[in-house]
Amino acid sequence: MLNPLLVEDAVRAALLEDLGRAGDITTNATIPAMKQARAVIAARQPGIVAGLDLAKAAFRLLDPALSFETRIADGAAITPGAILATIEGPARALLSAERVALNFLGRLSGIATLTSRYVAAVAHTKARIVCTRKTTPGLRTFEKYAVLCGGGFNHRFGLDDAILIKDNHIAVAGGIIPALRAVKAAIGHLVKIEIEVDTLDQLDEVLTEGADVVLLDNMTPARLREAVARVKGRLLTEASGGVTLETVAAIAESGVDMISVGALTHSAQVLDVGLDIQIN
């Protein structure tokens, strides 16, 4: 579940951005203050839902008198025309919150939908699809939540919750061995260590020194199979680098444990959802 405090902070900031200094001048000019309305949020295309809590918060923050009833849960598959939620109450608040609610819901549902396609493509293997830190600034928690809704798994959330020694760290530190030894001397016993390698020779160095996870960067499926064979289960293997829906199955069939896909969050297409006023 999403932390409600994080949800409120993010949605409040989005509402402030949209309403500006004078509020919704269009709605305030055209809709009487006491007018009531009822609406539904409906799917325009198939996909996986994510972000209903943020949509609800957009309406309730503008006016707690608005009722928001979900008809489906995050993580559920939807078809065009499916009703995701109903909203009823003061018309001005309903209309003013519409875009912020749909922006969150469409964005997160798009990520969940794309993730589900990657997950389906590797379902015949043991590989897990994981996200990266290539997220929209300020929205990482929610975008990673959407990955979970789509059946994927989360990589680290930030620079502070796991070690990931990348190629530039290795270059500055003076090599694989010095980088790993420096990290082991500096961190606590509960912190996992992952290190990136580009070649099988580098992998051999990692296996000599030891780590928890090795990131196999931009390797072909054949090279990945050789890497997995060398590792022999001694540590977790993660494939990364330019992974697409067209290539992910072959990568998974190499036997790697995880496949990290930046596209899940940086290239997902927004899922088309809309708000329709119900006229009595």
Per-residue pLDDT of 198-236, as tens digits, reads 999 999 999 999 999 999 999 999 999 999 999 999 999
258 and 154 part of one domain: yes
166 is catalytic: yes
135 and 254 part of one domain: yes
Catalytic residue among 38, 71, 99, 184: 99
104 and 123 part of one domain: no
In the sheet where 193-197 sits, what is the strand order?
A: 128-130, 258-260, 236-240, 213-217, 193-197, 163-165
135 and 105 part of one domain: no
CA atoms within 13 A on the CB side of 62: 31
129 and 254 part of one domain: yes
- pLDDT at residue 40 tops 70: yes
78 and 91 part of one domain: yes
88 and 215 part of one domain: no
pTM: 0.95
Per-residue confidence (pLDDT) for residue 279, from 0 to 100:
79
53 and 179 part of one domain: no
Quick one: pLDDT band at residue 11, thresholds 50, 70, 90? very high
CA–CA separation, 6 and 136 (whole Å): 15
Which amino acid is it at 215?
L
Domain that includes residue 137, residue range: 119-266
Catalytic residue among 74, 143, 217, 257: 217
Per-residue confidence (pLDDT) for residue 16, from 0 to 100:
98
Residue 130 CA from chain centroid, whole number: 9
* CATH number for the domain that contains residue 159: 3.20.20.70
Task: Provide the H-helix boundaries in the chain.
Answer: 4-19, 25-30, 52-62, 91-121, 140-149, 167-173, 176-186, 200-209, 221-231, 248-252, 263-266
102 and 134 part of one domain: no
Per-residue confidence (pLDDT) for residue 259, from 0 to 100:
98
272 is catalytic: no
Catalytic residue among 117, 133, 134, 156: 134
* CATH number for the domain that contains residue 83: 3.90.1170.20
Quick one: pLDDT band at residue 280, thresholds 50, 70, 90? low
161 is catalytic: no
Report the number of distinct structural domains present in the chain: 2
Catalytic residue among 35, 166, 212, 234: 166
CA–CA separation, 217 and 132 (whole Å): 14
> Hey, what are 78's tokens?
């939807």
Per-residue pLDDT of 104-146, as tens digits, reads 999 999 999 999 999 999 999 999 999 999 999 999 999 999 9
Mean pLDDT of 161-166: 96
Burial 77-88 (b: 16+ CB within 10 A, else e): ebeeebebbebb
Per-residue confidence (pLDDT) for residue 1, from 0 to 100:
80
76 and 104 part of one domain: yes
Please say whether the beta carbons of 48 and 76 come within 8 A: yes
Burial 125-161 (b: 16+ CB within 10 A, else e): bebbbbbbbebeeebbbbbbbbbbbbbbeebbeeeee
DSSP state, 38?
A: E
70 and 140 part of one domain: no
26 and 164 part of one domain: no
